[in-house]
Amino acid sequence: MASFDPIVGRYLNLEVEGRSYRVYVEEAGSGIPLLCLHTAGADSRQFRHLLNDAAVTSRYRVIAFDMPYHGRTNPPDGWWLEKYTLTTAAYLTFVRAVWTAMELVRPVVMGCSMGGAIVLRLAAEYQKALRGIVGLETSAYAPGRFNQYLHHPAIHGGELVASYTYGLCAPMSPEPNARENWWYYSQSGPGVYAGDVHFYSNDWDGREDARRIDTRLCRVSLLTGEYDYSCTPDMTREVAKSIPGSRLVIMNGMGHFPMIENYPVFRQFLLPELEWMAQ
């Protein structure tokens, strides 16, 4: 029998720092806003299982959007005249612009990988306006990830990026799910993953940001997969040590993309954290 997912997709038109954007946004559910940030080089399709989970959407208004250059959000006019390079400042500004335009009141912001990094800066800057952050595969400092072959004329960028990130999934994650994430990555625009990794590995340093977060104002949950060798469990443990009152979960059987590579296992770790955020 044919059926529709309980997800609504639309385009949000907004201006950020003098440039116009048409941002693709999906949402489902009602209640506490839960704003979801995808990984480098991918898009909000990674959160489709979360958007379909009634145990979450019965209490949370789950919102996921595509950053510019990603998925169904086009680059701004004139993109062909410049090299895409994401910075901490630009990333923070854009997430805040979407949050403000959608009039989200005290949301929980959940991000993975590069999204799990920027939530630390969001919490440091806007903790009084947040209910909490959920950092998936969160690192405060991750140098050494950038290399010239991420965008090279002799290499098929889509297959390179998709296959590299495929290897970041846990070995026991179901093959269809890991391949689904592979497919999303293979559709990344030329140089987009490299531009994201510039933020994550060259520009980003959130070690001082983490120390500024007051968990009495903004709750912090940090969840990292035991098989993640990009953001290792020890890297997230260091973040947790910097944030008194934060909650740390090392997820057995998970890799770098928990929300897409093995959602049934991931939700067992996530639901208690969302319950804590909602209290």
Please indicate, yes or no, if residue 1 is contained in any of the structural domains: no
pLDDT above 90: residue 123? yes
With cut-offs at 50, 70 and 90, classify the pLDDT of residue 167.
Answer: very high
Tally of structural domains, the chain: 1
Please indicate, yes or no, if residue 3 is contained in any of the structural domains: no
Question: What pLDDT is attached to residue 146?
Answer: 80
Please indicate, yes or no, if residue 161 is contained in any of the structural domains: yes
Please indicate, yes or no, if residue 12 is contained in any of the structural domains: yes
Asked if residue 217 lies in contact with residue 177, where contact means CB atoms within 8 angstroms, the answer is no
Please indicate, yes or no, if residue 2 is contained in any of the structural domains: no
Average pLDDT of the segment spanning 94-122: 98
Asked whether the CA dihedral 49, 51, 54, 55 is positive or negative, the reply is positive
- CATH number of 249's domain: 3.40.50.1820
Residue 20: count of CB within 10 angstroms of its CB: 10
Domain with 87 in it: 8-278
pLDDT digits (tens, 9 = 90+) for 87-100: 999 999 999 999 99
Please indicate, yes or no, if residue 178 is contained in any of the structural domains: yes
Which string of b and e fits 145-176 if b means at least 16 CB within 10 Å?
A: bbeeebbeeeeebbebbbebbbebbbeebeee
In sequence order, what are the residues at sequence separation of 6 or more whose Cβ sits closer than 8 angstroms to the Cβ of residue 224?
Answer: 136, 137, 138, 231, 232, 233, 235, 236, 249, 250, 251
Question: What pLDDT is attached to residue 110?
Answer: 98
Question: What pLDDT is attached to residue 144?
Answer: 82
With cut-offs at 50, 70 and 90, classify the pLDDT of residue 158.
Answer: confident
Question: What pLDDT is attached to residue 271?
Answer: 98
Please indicate, yes or no, if residue 267 is contained in any of the structural domains: yes
Please indicate, yes or no, if residue 34 is contained in any of the structural domains: yes
Question: What pLDDT is attached to residue 145?
Answer: 81
